[in-house]
Amino acid sequence: MRTPRKKQAALADARARRSAARLAAVQAIYQHWTAATPVARLLHEFHDHRLGAEIEDEQYLAADAAFFDDVVTGVLLRQDELDMAIAERLAEGWTLGRLDRLMHAILAAGAYELVARADVPRGAVVNEYVEVARAFYPASEAGFVNALLDRLGKAVRPEGVAA
């Protein structure tokens, strides 16, 4: 039987592995959109060479590989639906084409989780992708991610209603 301390450590580890999976998923989606890397090869490459690997003296965090796979394949399979949901929430005069690919990948991954992963709390999804945005962008862009995903989350998952 696990002690409360061990349970807390296990939960913290699971959260960290999902956070790492999200960051890697955004990178994989970006790579697919930029280099047209076939999905099977992309997943294989990340599993074997990036998730939890050491690259150029930097240790990458271990990631929840199944969660990573779900986000990547989910975004790529539902891209049109997700793009429409994102585009509907952009400010007037903005289009998806105006977003750079990395920002688009962050929003698409967040949108996928909001639409398809009812097991992940809405606020957690928004916060996690704000953190991913902060890894690449200044605060104003992270705020943009927060605002857009928050609007989308409230639309697809009203308070108290599962996705």
Write down the domain spans for the chain.
4-156
The predicted structure's pLDDT at residue 91: 86
The predicted structure's pLDDT at residue 60: 59
The predicted structure's pLDDT at residue 56: 56
Positions in the chain whose pLDDT score sits under 50: 59, 161, 163
99, 133 contact by CB (below 8 A): no
The predicted structure's pLDDT at residue 50: 75
The predicted structure's pLDDT at residue 121: 93
The predicted structure's pLDDT at residue 5: 72
Burial (CB < 10 A; 0-12, 13-18, 19+), residue 105, is buried
Q: Please state which CATH class domain 4-156 belongs to.
A: mainly alpha
- Residues 6 or more apart whose CB falls under 8 angstroms from that of 79 comprise 108
pLDDT tens for each residue of 102-145? 999 999 999 999 999 999 999 999 999 999 999 999 988 999 99
Burial (CB < 10 A; 0-12, 13-18, 19+), residue 122, is buried
The predicted structure's pLDDT at residue 48: 85
What is the CA angle 150-156-160, rounded to 5?
A: 90
